[in-house]
């Protein structure tokens, strides 16, 4: 996330144009909303004109019979205004909710397509604030502020013309009073824009802290660091309060000026109008109409300050949402790719593979050559930071190579559609992530066509039959992040999900780290059956996991330092022996 960009370069009202592609499909409803709001406002303007006709006509002449048609006309305009109000609310609700739905869907779809490297950089709280609070800001603007910003501006123009027609000297005086108001509004526009953006960014930071505290509640409690976590949260909450107050002060000053302006102008109208009536330049009815017209103008003038401020806030929200929509998709299907035949099991090959993250840091992987034959299991072993997890992430294109290529049966994985690639490559991560859905839905997340027999087999392999003891068995919802389960249970379910359907290529990133010794032995025994029928790449941090592999690749500094069977490496490479010797269950692997 680029927080270093100058805030005053963002949040311009032109950012609101980002909404047009999402508003275009509903332009008919938007037009109805705008027309109904404008006609209702114009209906209000008819009342002062009818009032002037009443004063200078039937009331001045004592013609009671002449009152009836004018009063009936006023009633007709009132009924029309009520009907137009209903029509505006109906069209506005349908259009703004539809626009919000489409924009929210586009944002969520974009987040799903953005590469893992993007999600590694961005705090989740910032993403949540854009998808929730910023989206709500956009909805409120589209559903109300945008319409009345346009309608009130038109109303001001129409009323200004009517004021000039009614008595032009006083009308010009009223228009001249708006000049300082306009200049002051422009001056405060930039300040409010910067303050709004700072508040929105700080809300994202606060959301990140809340999410981390909730997800890490066990760690926080076990370490007794509730006070520290609260102090961090409180400091950001205080900063957010201070930024909000800065924004409120600016808005309050703006409201103060916009409230004061019509009162002073009304005093000017009364003094100037009374003088004009005394000299005969203006009738009493004309003065009543002039004052009534200006009274109608009060709400548009008062609301413009808030509407412009809200437009600035929405522009900042559009900028923040646009940052995500504009983020480049670096891992996508190449143009013209079509599904290619991939065997089951497949031949996996790394050919001169290199990878480095953007920035000045050195390469994570450099010139990796490794072939995993169909049905073979290769274990990746190496010290922390040697590039094991990065290498496995290249198989399913969670990252793309920056040098060389990865192939399946001789086909570059970048030449396979992502949908096909991720259908034949299955992954189980060290950190088992489960979604807030049922056990069955979690298991079949990547293979919706899996049968009950497939599910039962996967549960057996992963020693995860404990799910049948849950309150509703496979239909039990396991809660957010699966935190209602133990770490070992979550890891077994993640492993079952990976082996479901016997994929062509299976990538396991230390899949047994959270299991006890007894369960680990049972899982390993069942897992051997699966590994015999698939091509597997296994990141091994535990010596017992190494024994599942046909061959072992030792990574050092992003390169393959040694490759062979477990026994060969033990005999020929002291670095491999030293690495395994760090494990407590050394006796299992050393002769």
Average pLDDT over residues 347-369: 89
How is residue 405 written in tokens? 């290529």
pLDDT greater at residue 166 or residue 221: 166
Pairing verdict, β 403-408 and 348-355:
antiparallel
State which fold the 348-588 domain adopts.
Rossmann fold (3.40.50)
Residue 586 has pLDDT above 50, yes or no: no
Every domain of the chain and the residues it spans: 11-199+245-325, 348-588
How confident is the model over 289-309, as pLDDT tens digits?
788 778 777 777 777 777 877
Average pLDDT over residues 190-214: 79
How is residue 56 written in tokens? 């200078």
Average pLDDT over residues 147-154: 84
How far are the Cα atoms of 45, 155, 266, 300 from residue 158, in angstroms, in the given order? 9, 5, 18, 12
How confident is the model over 243-290, as pLDDT tens digits?
888 888 887 877 777 777 777 888 888 888 888 888 888 887 778 778
Element (H, E) at 87: helix 67-113
DSSP H stretches of helix in 540-586? 543-546, 566-572, 574-581
Cα(549)–Cα(531) distance, integer angstroms: 9
For residue 475, what is the DSSP state? Answer: G
How confident is the model over 537-585, as pLDDT tens digits?
999 877 778 888 999 999 998 899 999 998 899 888 888 888 877 654 4
Q: What is the pLDDT of residue 55?
A: 66
Average pLDDT over residues 379-406: 91
Q: What is the pLDDT of residue 522?
A: 79
Cα(52)–Cα(31) distance, integer angstroms: 32
How is residue 226 written in tokens? 């509730």
Cα(158)–Cα(46) distance, integer angstroms: 12
Q: What is the pLDDT of residue 7?
A: 42
Percent of the chain with pLDDT over 70: 89
Element (H, E) at 426: strand 425-428
- Coil, strand or helix at 372: strand
Q: What angle do CA 284, 288, 289 make, to 5 degrees?
A: 115
Pairing verdict, β 535-539 and 505-509:
parallel
Cα(334)–Cα(325) distance, integer angstroms: 20
Q: What is the pLDDT of residue 306?
A: 75
How is residue 507 written in tokens? 């990538």
The highest-confidence range among 58-67, 215-224, 411-420, by mean pLDDT, is 411-420
DSSP of 253-292, one letter per residue? HHHHHHHHHHHHHHHHHHHHHHHHHHTTSS-HHHHHHHHH
pLDDT greater at residue 575 or residue 368: 368
Cα(534)–Cα(247) distance, integer angstroms: 60
How is residue 473 written in tokens? 């068995």
pLDDT band for position 411 (cuts 50, 70, 90):
very high
DSSP H stretches of helix in 114-225? 116-121, 124-131, 133-140, 146-166, 168-215, 217-222
CA atoms within 13 A on the CB side of 473: 6
List phi, psi (to 5°) of 361.
-65, 155
Cα(510)–Cα(558) distance, integer angstroms: 18
Q: What is the pLDDT of residue 274?
A: 87
Q: What is the pLDDT of residue 296?
A: 76
Q: What is the pLDDT of residue 3?
A: 43
- pLDDT, averaged across the chain: 83
For residue 25, what is the DSSP state? Answer: G
CATH of 11-199+245-325, one of 3.40.50.720, 1.20.1560.10, 3.30.980.10, 3.40.718.10: 1.20.1560.10
282-288 contacts, C-beta under 8 A, 24 or more apart: 282/167, 282/170, 283/56, 284/55, 284/56, 284/60, 285/51, 285/52, 285/53, 285/54, 285/55, 285/56, 285/57, 285/60, 286/52, 286/56, 286/166, 286/167, 287/167, 288/48, 288/51, 288/52, 288/55
Average pLDDT over residues 427-454: 86
pLDDT greater at residue 69 or residue 247: 247
Q: What is the pLDDT of residue 265?
A: 84
Pairing verdict, β 551-556 and 559-564:
antiparallel
Q: What is the pLDDT of residue 25?
A: 93
Element (H, E) at 29: helix 27-54
CB of 320 closer than 8 Å to CB of 200: yes
Give the residue carrying structure tokens 């109608």: 296
Q: What is the pLDDT of residue 11?
A: 44
Give the residue carrying structure tokens 């103060």: 256
């Amino acid at each position: 996330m680029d927080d270093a960009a100058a805030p005053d370069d963002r949040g311009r009202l032109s950012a609101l144009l980002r909404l047009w592609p999402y508003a275009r499909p509903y332009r008919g409803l938007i037009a109805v909303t705008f027309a109904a709001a404008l006609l209702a406002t114009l209906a209000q303007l008819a009342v002062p004109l009818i009032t002037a006709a009443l004063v200078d006509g039937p009331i001045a002449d004592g013609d009671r019979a002449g009152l009836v048609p004018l009063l009936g006309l006023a009633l007709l305009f009132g009924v029309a205004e009520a009907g137009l109000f209903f029509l505006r609310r109906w069209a506005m609700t349908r259009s703004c909710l539809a626009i919000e739905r489409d924009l929210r869907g586009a944002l969520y779809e974009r987040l799903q397509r953005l590469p893992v490297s993007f999600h590694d950089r961005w705090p989740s709280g910032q993403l949540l604030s854009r998808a929730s609070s910023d989206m709500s800001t956009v909805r409120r603007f589209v559903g109300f502020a945008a319409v009345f910003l346009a309608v009130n501006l038109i109303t001001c123009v129409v009323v200004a013309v009517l004021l000039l027609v009614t008595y032009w000297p006083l009308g010009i005086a009223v228009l001249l009073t708006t000049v300082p108001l306009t200049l002051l509004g422009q001056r405060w526009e930039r300040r409010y824009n910067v303050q709004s953006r700072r508040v929105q960014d700080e809300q994202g930071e606060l959301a990140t802290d809340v999410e981390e505290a909730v997800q890490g509640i066990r760690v926080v409690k076990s370490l007794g660091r509730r006070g520290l976590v609260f102090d961090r949260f409180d400091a950001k909450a205080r900063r957010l309060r201070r930024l909000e107050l800065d924004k409120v002060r600016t808005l309050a000053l703006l409201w103060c000026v916009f409230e004061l302006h019509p009162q002073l102008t009304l005093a000017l109208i009364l003094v100037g109008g009374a003088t004009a009536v005394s000299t005969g330049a203006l009738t009493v009815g004309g003065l009543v109409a002039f004052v009534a017209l200006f009274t109608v103008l009060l709400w548009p003038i008062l609301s413009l300050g808030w509407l412009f401020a809200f437009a600035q806030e929405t522009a900042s929200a559009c900028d923040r949402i646009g940052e995500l929509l504009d983020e480049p998709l670096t891992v996508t299907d190449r143009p013209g790719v079509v599904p290619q035949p991939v065997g089951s099991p497949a031949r996996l090959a790394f050919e001169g593979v290199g990878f480095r993250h953007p920035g000045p840091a050195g390469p994570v992987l450099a010139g990796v050559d490794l072939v995993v034959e169909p049905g073979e299991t290769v274990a990746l072993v190496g010290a922390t930071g040697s590039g094991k997890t990065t290498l496995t992430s290249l198989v399913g294109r969670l990252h793309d190579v920056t040098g060389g290529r990865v192939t399946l049966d001789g086909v570059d994985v970048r030449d396979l559609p992502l949908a096909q690639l991720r259908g034949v490559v299955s992954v189980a991560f060290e950190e088992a992530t489960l979604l807030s859905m049922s056990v069955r839905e979690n298991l079949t997340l990547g293979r919706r066509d899996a049968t009950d027999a497939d599910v039962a087999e996967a549960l057996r392999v992963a020693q995860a039959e404990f799910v049948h003891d849950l309150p509703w068995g496979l239909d039990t919802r396991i809660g957010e992040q699966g935190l209602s389960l133990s770490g070992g249970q979550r890891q077994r379910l993640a492993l079952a999900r990976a082996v479901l359907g016997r994929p062509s290529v299976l990538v396991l990133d230390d899949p047994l780290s959270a299991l006890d010794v007894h369960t680990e032995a049972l899982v390993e025994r069942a897992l051997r059956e699966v590994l015999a029928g698939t091509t597997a790449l296994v990141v091994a941090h535990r010596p017992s996991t190494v024994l599942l592999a046909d061959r072992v690749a030792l990574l050092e500094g992003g390169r393959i330092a040694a490759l062979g069977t477990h026994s060969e490496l033990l005999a020929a490479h002291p670095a491999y022996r030293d690495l395994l010797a760090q494990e407590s269950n050394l006796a299992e692997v050393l002769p």
